[in-house]
């Protein structure tokens, strides 16, 4: 989704919030997998010093990782584009439910994407809620295409890379520059890079080690070898 689509098209925005209203609790209830838990165990053991994630699902935090940079934000917070007022997604859910009691829109509850986008047949009756502070437009606190990652977040991620003995890329094709930049930064500083991913990635030529495999089994194996 582009920020221009979201801000300029009220029908698009209505469709987005209707689908998100139905689907967001699915992502809120999602549990970490073995890969998330392995990284948390590696952090507790002092092997991993931090995680920079492009995902917005908070699963690294749920797994127990503490030094997490949520590069693209998280689904769990909403921000007003006018006054910058923030609220939790759970609080907004109450406002949306009050405005749309019992709304399901013919949704297929099983068809929910990782960003909480549910399949909803009819969104035309859904009422959007504006900022309770100023009446401005509310948006998930997530970086959309066309937006920049906040500078302080980028600097925090660079700091983690600079302090690391090596950079591990897990489960990313690095197609988006917001993540790829840290691989380029590590390579420029002579920091070894290892990549675990199914298929080619944009950073393969910069990696010292590339493992073409799923993240969870490899990270669990790594944790089993390095965590006493």
pLDDT for the residue 25: 86
Same domain for 12 and 64 = no
Same domain for 126 and 171 = no
Which domain covers residue 67, as residue numbers?
34-72+149-226
Same domain for 94 and 19 = yes
Same domain for 136 and 160 = no
Query: What's the angle, vertex CA 71, arms to CA 69 and CA 75, rounded to 5?
Result: 100
Same domain for 47 and 25 = no
Same domain for 162 and 89 = no
Tell me the H-state helices in the chain: 3-8, 10-28, 34-44, 59-63, 89-99, 151-162, 177-188, 215-226
Same domain for 163 and 59 = yes
Q: Write down the residue that tokens 């949306």 correspond to.
A: 96
Same domain for 81 and 65 = no
Is there a catalytic annotation at residue 72? yes
Q: Write down the residue that tokens 């469709």 correspond to.
A: 15
Last residue of a domain, one of 105, 121, 142: 142
Same domain for 133 and 102 = yes
| Total tally of structural domains belonging to the chain | 2
Last residue of a domain, one of 113, 142, 171: 142
* pTM, full prediction: 0.92
Contact 160, 52 (CB under 8 A): yes
Same domain for 60 and 157 = yes
What is the CATH classification number for the domain harbouring 109? 3.30.1600
The residue annotated as part of the active site, out of 21, 60, 72, 185, is 72
What is the CATH classification number for the domain harbouring 52? 3.40.50.1220
pLDDT for the residue 120: 83
Q: Within the chain, which residues score under 50 in pLDDT?
A: none
Same domain for 153 and 52 = yes
Same domain for 56 and 167 = yes
- pLDDT tens for 186-214 read 999 999 999 999 999 999 999 999 999 99
pLDDT for the residue 26: 86
SS3 167: strand
């Amino acid at each position: 989704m582009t920020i221009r689509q979201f801000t300029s098209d009220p029908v698009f925005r209505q469709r987005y919030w209707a689908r998100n209203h139905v689907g967001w609790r699915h992502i809120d209830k999602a549990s970490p997998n073995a890969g998330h838990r392995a990284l948390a165990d590696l952090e507790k053991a002092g092997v991993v010093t931090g995680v920079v994630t492009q995902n917005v699902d908070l699963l690294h935090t749920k797994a127990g990782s503490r030094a997490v940079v949520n590069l693209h934000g998280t689904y769990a917070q909403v921000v007003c584009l006018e006054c910058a007022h923030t609220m939790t997604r759970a609080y907004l859910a109450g406002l949306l439910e009050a405005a749309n009691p019992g709304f399901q829109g013919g949704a297929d509850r099983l068809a929910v994407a990782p960003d909480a986008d549910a399949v909803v047949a009819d969104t035309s009756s859904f009422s959007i809620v504006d900022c309770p502070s100023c009446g401005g437009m509310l948006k998930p606190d997530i970086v959309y295409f066309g937006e920049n990652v906040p500078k302080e977040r980028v600097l925090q991620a660079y700091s983690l890379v600079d302090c690391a003995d090596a950079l591990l890329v897990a489960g990313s094709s690095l197609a988006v520059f917001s993540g790829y930049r840290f691989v380029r930064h590590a390579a420029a500083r002579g920091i070894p890079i290892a990549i675990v991913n199914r298929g080619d990635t944009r950073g393969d030529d910069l990696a010292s080690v590339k493992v073409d495999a799923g993240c969870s089994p490899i990270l669990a194996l790594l944790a089993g070898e390095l965590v006493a």
